[in-house]
Amino acid sequence: MKPRIGLAALACTALLVTSCGGDLDAAWKVNSFRILAAPIENLDRVESPAVTDAAPGERVRLRLITADDRDPPRAFQALWVFCSQVTRTGNTFGCAPEGASIQMGADVTYQVPAGLSTSIDTQGRPRVQALAVACTGTLGFDPATMLPSCSGEGAVSWTMTRSILVRVPSDTEPSNHNPEITEVLLYRGGPTTDPVVLDPATPLRVPRCSTDPCLKYGLEVRVRDGSRERNTTLNSQAQTIVSNERLVFGFYSTAGTLDGSFRVDSNEVPDGPIRNTLEGPTTAATARLWFSAQDNRGGVTVTSRTVIFE
Amino acid sequence: MTWSGVALAQIGATTQSDPEAPAAALRPPRLVQFVQADYPPAALAQGVEGSVVLRLSITAEGRVTEAVVLQGVGQGLDEAAVAAALRFTFEPAHRGDVAIPSSIRYRYRFSAAAARAAAAPTHRAILRGVVRARGEDRAIDGATVVITLANGTSQQQVTDAAGAFRFEIDTLGTVDLRIRAEGFDDLRFSETLADRDDVNGTYRLDPRVEAPTTTRAPTDDDGVGEAVIRARRPAREVTRQTLEFREILRMPGTGGDALRAVQNFPGVGRAINGLLIVRGSTPQDTQIFADGTAIPLVYHFGGLSSVISTELLDHIDFYPGNYSARFGRAQGGIVDVGLRSPRRQGFRFVGNINLIDASLFAEGAITRDLSFAVSFRRSYVDAILGAVLGGIEAVTITNLPVYWDYQAVLEYRPGRRDKIRLSMLGSDDSFALVLNRPNDMSPRFSGTFSTGIGFHVGQLLWDHTFSDRVTSRAMFSMGRNSINFGGGEAFGLTLNFWQYNARYEVQYQAARNARMNVGIDISGGPAQIAFNGIRPPTEGQGGGGFSQAPRVATDATSVIYRPGAYVELELTPTPSLRLIPAFRVDYARDTNQVWAIQPRFSFRWEFLRDWFIKGGVGVFNQPPQPQQSSSAPNVFQPSTTTGNPFLAQQRSIQYGLGIERNFSRYVTASVEGFYKDLDSQVVSQASLTGPAYLNTGVGRIYGAEILLRHRPSDRFFGWLAYTISRSERRDAPGLPYRIFQFDQTHILTVIGSYQLGRGWEIGARFRLVSGNPSTPIAGSVFNGDTGTYTQIPGQPFSARNNPFHQLDVRVDKTWRWSRGSLNLYLEVLNVYNNANPEGVQYNYNYTQSQTVTGIPIFPNLGVRVEY
């Protein structure tokens, strides 16, 4: 097989195909504490699913949704920094001191200030930039340097950036809503068999891997009709393009093996099934699964299920 | 001492008659190669002069075997005359058609006045070289070399045992050479000589192919043979490196590809994805010209092969810095590729097949004055990668990677004063695949990915000789350069540049020791740029992935107009000293519209015999890339532009000083130090509200290059090249200097190739190069808007990969027959399978990493057939 490996290496080098990397942790594997998402919900516009943008003066709720390989999950502390006067974006963002505010907790409410004018995003629209830190140890924050710290034995921390789109009177585009995952199906032995709907509250028991090759289970995520909202974008010729949102689906698990972390709904078949495969572990284990759906305008939702491999 | 003004008189001829031979016309011997005697210094000082009468015995081959003094002068003149006469070459005496031995009386006259007057060299140029058998590479003894000067006069010499000849020439301009040798096709070639030129060439003759029938007898106008890669003493540049044909064909690790061989010169960094890195400059800073036309790329896919057939090359001149004023719009190096004239008699075909690609070349004469050459090459990479990637579920190949290129040349020579050439050059690389699953780092990085880059250009070239003092070259080319990149929904770039190049240069020999080159050089055309993606990050900062970076989109056409003009003087106040002051101006309408004024100066001085000191200083400007100076609005932020139309031209001030030593005909050594001071460098800006690019960057590059070279002899060629350098940049005032992305501290290349005999040749190349700089990842932040992680880069390029080292070996076996040759070669890259680090790959949240290594051991078997 050596020549095959050599040719593959040559191909990877020539193409710079990132799929060639084999020894690195995959994104689907939850083997520590991590942040999965932070949905935004407008509290002053009661709609279902929730609106993700807010006009000045309106309040939004932000929740940190985390995943942990430990059972029960570790407790964590969280801190939010909101910035209504962004001076720089990109890999890092800068904030004018007068535009900054701080809140503690994983579930916070923020009121968009009136008179917001200096904050911009890449398309020239106002945004409030947020930064959150989640820490499984003791969380500290130095207001002078605006740098958080996380201490404690074995403490794990992650920092997250998030932005809130601020509606202005000139906006004609309808508000964006979070996508909504309606159900998650599991196929025993592949998608040709009848699926089982995974219940959020009741773990499903299935056989572990005991054959060679292992039996693979199919997973399918379904979203509410209308989750792919119509929206307007510009192409490179500055022409207005009205299309459905494209959703990115994330698959995460604490056990077993998932075939890749992400799926993207196809533009060619936007309502096609969103599927992945899960291979059970060879030993008995409980797999906690998370499924996320994220649109390209900041809307996101996450749901979780449990499968017990016996 | 050399001198002239000697009158020679052939006094008469006596022949040894053969009583058995029938009576036939007797033709006396004729002197064809006169050798000037050394005037004895004492005799010259005393003004002793006169004529020495000799009797010379001449063989049937025309060589002088005996010189007897019949009437002497004394004071050492008799001995000097004898020594010179023994080196004469005659066309032998003939009885009928039969050459016979003869003896003659010869008067050798010494004139002290003439000798003093000729104390300084009278020649204005030297044309010398070595004649070799093509393929076997052996020297040809006894070949007749006839040159016809611009004034119509001819000279003739016979090569010595080393195949060498040397002419000292008074009449400048175009010189036609004709080389004849028994068993070989004649070779015809032209050289253009300027004052003080020292043209030193290697001329290879084809073994004669006996045609089954002939339609007419050959005439003097039948141009045949093969052009050569010739070596000319550096004239207008401080440093110029040239390659001989055998070096190119047999160089290990290059697949017989001439342009890939350039990568082994000092000053050239190890190529990254096939990009030329010259003296620590970014690849975009180095211009590639084909007969004066700028072409956008030099290598196919990551450097697998070059875009111009080696068979069609006349020369490759590589200038790492301080180059002539005729080159502009570049602040790095220059690669100047010259296409050769097609053969003017008969036809020739060359086929080359290896595991990577296959090519076919043909050339020949259409009429006496019209000849052609065509070449085509196509790759096999699609088949290899198709087999490999076919087994990877995550990837679907929709357009397997393929490259091809072509060249076609039609040359017309209406007379000795004109050469008109119409050329077509083209190249195309394309590849497309579908990533079936989104990438772990960035879900938006999925879908169809495609890349395409190519050019097609037509060129008209006219060389004209007005007189032996004035020559000109006019060139006009027009074509299309295109670049396409598609990266799913995240990224798209289309660049179509309908580019024209116009150049006119006049070379005027103003005086015996002064020559002037004046030229205009215009480049431009409409450029369409359609872009949809992220703004390129600041160098060394990383991108953070396509999902997070600010987005930019535009689709606009702008008209590029970049005229330039130059004047250059070549002054030779003494035969050993050459001074070249020059001045160039360049304008770019798509920038701040300020003329870039570029004074330049270089010199070369032979301060001792075979010892040279050389140096130069000059200003070199380069306009920004079209996308950097674009005034097209950003669709996502109409109040801003995608580029900055007010950018100034980038500038480098280059200094160079070196020393060269010719140890022998084959062995040379040189050491050169250089310093480049960069300013007005274009730097990408992170701010969303300001211009996308600013001229805030400065830089400094300094180092030294050593080259110890053994030019091709009968058995061996090779060299050792070592470069030590440091390339630094500062992106904005107040920031510290940092290592530049393409900095390579140590570059060592050792090459050798040896002919074992019986058609076998073996060669090896070893390279040891500092690892490429890299920017460490200090951490990452989860981006809740996209669900992915954004890297936090550390100090730009503060880390470095492990050193690169690799051994390549090449073995050739050649069979010859009367009509052609067959060459079978095996080239093994990375013989000991070293895992050379080429980069670092990270996991999805940048907490883990692993090294990406380069190509493993790779054998390439090929066949080259010539007919």
Higher pLDDT, B449 or A251: A251
Residue contact A34–B845, C-beta within 8 A: yes
With beta carbons under 8 A apart, name residues in chain B contacting A263.
437-438
Nearest Cα residue in chain A from B844: A27
> How does pLDDT run across B590-637, given as a tens digit for each residue?
888 889 999 999 999 989 888 999 999 999 999 998 888 888 887 777
Q: What percent of chain B has pLDDT over 90?
A: 29
> How does pLDDT run across B396-430, given as a tens digit for each residue?
555 566 889 999 999 998 877 888 999 999 999 88
* Distance of alpha carbon B427 from alpha carbon B143, whole angstroms: 40
> How does pLDDT run across B661-684, given as a tens digit for each residue?
988 878 999 999 999 999 999 988
Residue B292 has pLDDT above 90, yes or no: no
> How does pLDDT run across B166-177, given as a tens digit for each residue?
888 877 777 888
Long-range contacts of B327-330 (CB under 8 A, 24+ apart): B327/B287, B327/B289, B328/B521, B328/B564, B328/B566, B328/B584, B328/B586, B328/B598, B328/B620, B328/B621, B329/B287, B329/B294, B329/B523, B329/B562, B329/B564, B329/B586, B329/B621, B329/B622, B329/B623, B330/B285, B330/B286, B330/B287, B330/B620, B330/B622
**C-alpha dihedral, A129 to A134 to A139 to A142, nearest 10°:** -20
Q: Which residues pair with A249 in a beta bridge?
A: A263, A293
Å from B398 to nearest chain A CA?
A: 14
> How does pLDDT run across B828-857, given as a tens digit for each residue?
989 999 998 888 888 989 999 888 888 889
At residue B558, the pLDDT reads: 85
Å from B829 to nearest chain A CA?
A: 12
Question: In sequence order, which residues have a C-beta less than 8 Å from that of residue B360 and are 6 or more positions away?
Answer: B349, B350, B351, B352, B375, B376, B377
At position A221, the amino acid (one-letter code) is V
Helices vs. strands in chain B: H and E counts, helices first? 6, 52
| A residues 90..129 contacting B (CB < 8 A) | 90-92, 120, 122-124
Residue contact A235–B553, C-beta within 8 A: yes
Q: Which of A27-31, B447-451, B464-468, B630-634 has the highest mean pLDDT?
A: A27-31
At residue A186, the pLDDT reads: 92
Structure tokens at B423: 């050329």
Q: Which of A24, A130, A263 sits opposite B843 (nearest CB)?
A: A24
Q: Is the dihedral of CA B770, B773, B779, B781 positive or negative?
A: negative
Residue B753, sorted as left (phi over 0), alpha (psi -120 to 50) or beta, turns out to be beta
CB pairs under 8 A between A and B: 197
Task: Please classify residue A103 by burial: count the beta carbons closer than 10 Å to its beta carbon, then call 0-12 exposed, 13-18 middle and 19+ buried.
Answer: middle
At residue B21, the pLDDT reads: 41
Q: Specify the DSSP element, H or E, that contains B532.
A: strand B514-534
* Distance of alpha carbon B262 from alpha carbon B275, whole angstroms: 12
Task: Please classify residue B639 by burial: count the beta carbons closer than 10 Å to its beta carbon, then call 0-12 exposed, 13-18 middle and 19+ buried.
Answer: exposed
Task: Please classify residue A132 by burial: count the beta carbons closer than 10 Å to its beta carbon, then call 0-12 exposed, 13-18 middle and 19+ buried.
Answer: buried
pLDDT means per 10 residues, chain A with 310 residues, are 36 41 82 95 89 92 95 92 71 65 93 72 73 91 72 90 86 89 85 81 90 86 88 73 86 92 72 86 93 91 94
At residue A94, the pLDDT reads: 63
* Distance of alpha carbon A296 from alpha carbon A270, whole angstroms: 14
Question: Nearest-CA neighbor of B488 among B527, B451, B521?
Answer: B451
Residue contact A159–B782, C-beta within 8 A: yes
∠ CA B203-B209-B212, nearest 5°, is 155
The whole-number average pLDDT for the span B223-252 is 47
Residue B66 has pLDDT above 50, yes or no: yes
Q: Is the dihedral of CA B732, B738, B741, B742 positive or negative?
A: positive
Residue contact B784–A160, C-beta within 8 A: yes
Are residues B264 and B255 in contact, defined by beta-carbon separation less than 8 angstroms?
A: no
At residue A123, the pLDDT reads: 60
Residue contact B637–A122, C-beta within 8 A: yes
Residue contact B842–A264, C-beta within 8 A: no
∠ CA B770-B771-B777, nearest 5°, is 145
The whole-number average pLDDT for the span B220-243 is 40
Please report which confidence band the pLDDT of residue B213 belongs to, taking 50, 70 and 90 as the band edges. Answer: very low
Residue contact B638–A238, C-beta within 8 A: yes
Residue contact B433–A34, C-beta within 8 A: no
Are residues B848 and B807 in contact, defined by beta-carbon separation less than 8 angstroms?
A: no
At residue A190, the pLDDT reads: 55
| CB contact burial B173-188 (16+ within 10 A = b; e otherwise) | bbbbbbbbbeebbbbb
* Distance of alpha carbon B843 from alpha carbon B854, whole angstroms: 19
At residue B687, the pLDDT reads: 63
With beta carbons under 8 A apart, name residues in chain A contacting B540.
none
Strand-by-strand arrangement of the B102-110 sheet: B8-15, B102-110, B50-58, B64-71
Q: Which of B440, B793, B853 sits opposite A9 (nearest CB)?
A: B853
* Distance of alpha carbon B168 from alpha carbon B128, whole angstroms: 8
How long a stretch of residues is chain A?
Answer: 310
| A residues 263..282 contacting B (CB < 8 A) | 263-264
Q: What percent of chain B has pLDDT over 70?
A: 83
**Average pLDDT of chain B, as a whole number:** 81
Å from B395 to nearest chain A CA?
A: 9
Residue contact B395–A161, C-beta within 8 A: no
At residue B248, the pLDDT reads: 62
At residue B6, the pLDDT reads: 30
Please report which confidence band the pLDDT of residue B275 belongs to, taking 50, 70 and 90 as the band edges. Answer: confident
The whole-number average pLDDT for the span B293-302 is 82
At residue B512, the pLDDT reads: 79
Å from B559 to nearest chain A CA?
A: 18
> How does pLDDT run across B124-139, given as a tens digit for each residue?
678 888 888 765 557 7
Strand A100-104 to strand A107-111: parallel, antiparallel, or no bridges (unpaired)?
A: unpaired
At residue A266, the pLDDT reads: 65
Determine the 3-state secondary structure of B258 from DSSP.
helix
Nearest Cα residue in chain A from B557: A237
With beta carbons under 8 A apart, name residues in chain A contacting B857.
6
At residue B214, the pLDDT reads: 26
Q: Which residues pair with B179 in a beta bridge?
A: B145, B187
With beta carbons under 8 A apart, name residues in chain A contacting B832.
none
Structure tokens at B343: 């053969």
Nearest Cα residue in chain A from B784: A162
Q: What is the pTM of this model?
A: 0.75
At residue B841, the pLDDT reads: 86
Residue B2 has pLDDT above 50, yes or no: no
